[in-house]
Amino acid sequence: MIFLASSLVMMWFVILSGVTHTSPLSQTYFLRANTDGISGARPISQWTYFYVCGDGNTDCSPPHPAPAIGSAWDGEPRRAPPAELLGGYGGNTTSFGYWYMWRFGWVFYLIALFFGVLAFFSGFVACCSRLGSAISGLITLAALVFYTIAVSLMTATFVKMRNAFIADNRDAELGRWAFGFSWGAWAALLISTILFCLGRRANKADGAGPRRTWGRRRMSTHSRKSYDGRRVKEEYP
Q: Mean pLDDT across the chain, nearest whole number? A: 83
Whole-structure pTM value: 0.80
Per DSSP bridges, beta strands 44-47 and 31-34 are antiparallel
CA distance 40 to 47: 15
What pLDDT sits at residue 136?
85
The sheet that has 172-174: what strands, in order across it? 52-53, 44-47, 31-34, 172-174
Q: 150: pLDDT confidence band, cut at 50, 70 and 90?
A: very high
pLDDT at 213 over 50: no
Residues 63-72 have a mean pLDDT of 85
pLDDT at 207 over 70: no
214-221 contact pairs (CB < 8 A, 24+): none
39-60 residue pLDDT tens: 889 999 999 998 999 988 888 8
Residues 79-103 have a mean pLDDT of 90
Q: 152: pLDDT confidence band, cut at 50, 70 and 90?
A: very high
What pLDDT sits at residue 210?
44
Do residues 181 and 8 lie in contact, with contact meaning Cβ atoms separated by under 8 Å?
Answer: no
Residues 153-161 have a mean pLDDT of 95
